């Protein structure tokens, strides 16, 4: 009987001592004590604090968490923090309730305990102080209690809602039974409210285990380095990012001319459908967001580099420049793609090293403007210096004129008679006046001093 009276007393007295911070992305409200929740594994009822959580914009769970810290009358934390199970995706219009079991040590004591409930991630978080007594301490707030996220909860919100609202996605049908849809994501750069205000488009073909992984990386701007540099580059230069998760529809260990003819034809047929779906999606995004569907920069790494290369060979009219890193297999070059500026970075220990040489020669025979770099001692691993060279390559590509005739004239000068030349086999760079020092078959045009320096300085790390 005493326990029931105690629970009713707490139920009447429990309330939030801080209002829900609606200006933040994460919200907490509707706090109450739950006397009877589902039985625990031991078969007993577990009295708990129940709160309602919400978000200001749709997003996947990512690194989000909901946790409660319980304190006694001396503001000393009691027991371990209690975490709540969260849904896989958060929806603005669907707030959800979670429960935190109250430690037995507090239920057996007087009812003047406190709980700080925190909902958020490592970018932004909201905290709410819950009181377990009828009366409360005037001026009490979560800031008077020690918990790991207190500083984050006290700071000005990083406006996660604005970040989330800058990411859009569409599905494009491929008509392939085992790959029915290609999902394209569009992300606006920081400080840009519309694609019409951006300075161009950066396309990223990325390796990801799921669509949620792509969403999380774009919305939270939290990546493991695979393409974080590219996102920062887009923000710096006010470029719209369009990205998608790559998927292999070919043999990643063989070039097109190493496959049986029927196998190569089937791979072509399947990827042609993917490329058509990509094009349809790009046209939709361009119409909806108001950007020009041309002069894109395109990047890919490893398997996604193979995807990028195959896409650019089929749809070259959309691209200004393509930068690919450590692809292991290559498709048949097309004459139409010679209008695109190319950069390929690989390693001398990469399994596709010899295949990359063949692709480079086949492309240059068709008149491609092509920067090729094979890093000594590098295998199939990410390589930051190569990526920095690629960013300098993009910097150069962005200076090219828009008009086709002006662009062609500039490329004839810059790539036909550049200020520097690289020797892709011996790894040295020579100024234009010393071109004879490099055998013709080994020459790589380097149109700017910055590219030349980064091309020559690369070493395995």
Instruction: Write the pLDDT tens digit of every residue in 228-286.
Output: 889 999 999 999 999 998 877 888 888 888 888 998 899 999 999 999 999 999 999 99
Q: Which pLDDT belongs to residue 121?
A: 87
Sequence spans of domains, the chain = 2-158, 166-457
Report whether 18 contacts 143 (CB < 8 A): no
User: Which token pair is 93?
Assistant: 């219009």
- Two domains, one topology: 2-158 and 166-457: no
Give the DSSP letter string of 97-121.
EEEEEPPHHHHTS-S--EEEEEEE-
Residue 100, φ and ψ in degrees, nearest 5: -125, 120
d(CA 261, CA 279): 26
Say which residue the tokens 């002069």 belong to.
Answer: 295
Give the residue from 281, 309, 276, 305 showing the smallest Cα distance to 293. 281
CATH hierarchy code of domain 166-457? 3.40.50.1820
d(CA 440, CA 53): 66
Q: Which pLDDT belongs to residue 90?
A: 84
Q: Which pLDDT belongs to residue 17?
A: 41
Q: Which pLDDT belongs to residue 18?
A: 38
Q: Which pLDDT belongs to residue 298?
A: 98
CATH class of 2-158: mainly beta
Q: Which pLDDT belongs to residue 312?
A: 98
User: Which token pair is 388?
Assistant: 């920095």
Task: Name every residue whose Cβ is closer than 8 Å to that of residue 141 and which is 6 or more positions away in sequence.
Answer: 17, 18, 129
**Partners of residue 443 on adjacent β-strands:** 423
Question: Which CA distances in Å does 2 have to 8, 108, 114, 201?
Answer: 10, 11, 21, 68
The reported pTM is: 0.69
The angle subtended at Cα 349 by Cα 420 and Cα 308, nearest 5°, is: 70
Q: Which pLDDT belongs to residue 207?
A: 85
User: Which token pair is 289?
Assistant: 């967001």
Burial class (CB in 10 A: 0-12, 13-18, 19+), 349: middle
Instruction: Tell me the pLDDT tens digit for each residue of 397-419.
Output: 999 999 999 999 999 999 999 99
User: Can you list the residues of the chain whose pLDDT is less than 50?
Assistant: 1-23, 134-135, 138, 158-159, 161, 222-224, 460-461
Give the DSSP letter string of 404-426.
HHHHHHHHHHHHHS-SEEEETTT
Say which residue the tokens 């800031």 belong to.
Answer: 143
d(CA 131, CA 126): 17
Instruction: Tell me the pLDDT tens digit for each residue of 356-407.
Output: 999 999 999 999 999 999 999 999 998 889 999 999 999 999 999 999 999 9
């Amino acid at each position: 009987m005493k326990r029931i009276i105690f629970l009713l007393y707490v139920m009447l007295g429990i309330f939030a001592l801080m209002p829900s911070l609606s200006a933040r992305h994460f919200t907490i409200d509707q706090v109450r004590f739950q006397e009877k929740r589902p039985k625990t594994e031991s078969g007993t009822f577990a009295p708990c604090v129940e709160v309602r959580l919400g978000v200001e914009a749709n997003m996947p769970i990512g690194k989000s968490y909901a946790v409660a810290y319980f304190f006694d009358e001396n503001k000393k934390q009691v027991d371990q923090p209690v975490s709540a199970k969260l849904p896989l995706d958060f929806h603005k219009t669907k707030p959800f309730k979670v429960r935190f079991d109250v430690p037995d040590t507090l239920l057996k004591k007087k009812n003047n305990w406190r709980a700080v409930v925190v909902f958020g991630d490592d970018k932004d978080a909201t905290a709410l102080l819950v009181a377990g007594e009828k009366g409360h301490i005037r001026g009490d707030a979560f800031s008077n209690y020690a918990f790991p996220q207190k500083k984050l909860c006290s700071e000005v919100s990083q406006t996660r809602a604005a970040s989330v609202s800058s990411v859009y996605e569409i599905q494009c049908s491929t008509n392939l039974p085992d790959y029915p849809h290609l999902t394209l994501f569009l992300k606006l750069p920081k400080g840009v409210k519309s694609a019409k205000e951006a300075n161009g488009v950066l396309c990223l073909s990325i390796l990801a285990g799921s669509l949620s992984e792509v969403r999380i990386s774009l919305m939270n701007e939290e990546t493991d380095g695979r393409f974080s540099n590219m996102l920062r580059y887009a923000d710096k230069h006010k470029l719209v990012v369009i990205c998608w998760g790559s998927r292999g529809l070919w043999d990643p260990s063989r070039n097109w001319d190493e496959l049986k003819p029927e196998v190569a034809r089937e791979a072509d047929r399947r990827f042609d459908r993917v490329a058509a779906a990509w094009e349809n999606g790009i046209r939709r995004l361009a119409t909806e967001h108001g950007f020009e569907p041309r002069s894109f920069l395109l990047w890919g790494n490893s398997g996604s580099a193979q995807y990028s290369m195959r896409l650019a060979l089929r749809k070259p009219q959309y691209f200004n420049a393509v930068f690919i890193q450590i692809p292991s297999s290559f498709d048949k070059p097309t004459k139409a793609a010679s209008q695109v500026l190319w950069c390929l970075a690989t390693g001398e220990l990469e399994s596709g090293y010899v295949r990359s040489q063949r692709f480079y020669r086949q492309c240059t025979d068709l008149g491609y403007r092509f920067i090729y770099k094979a890093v000594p001692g590098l295998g199939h691993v990410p390589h930051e210096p190569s990526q920095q060279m690629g960013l300098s390559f993009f910097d150069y590509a962005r200076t090219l004129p828009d008009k086709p005739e002006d662009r062609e004239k500039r490329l004839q000068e810059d790539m036909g008679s550049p200020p520097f030349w690289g020797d892709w086999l011996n790894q040295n760079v020579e100024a234009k006046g010393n071109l004879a020092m490099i055998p013709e078959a080994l020459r790589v045009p380097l149109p700017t001093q910055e590219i030349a320096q980064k091309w020559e300085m690369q070493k395995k790390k």
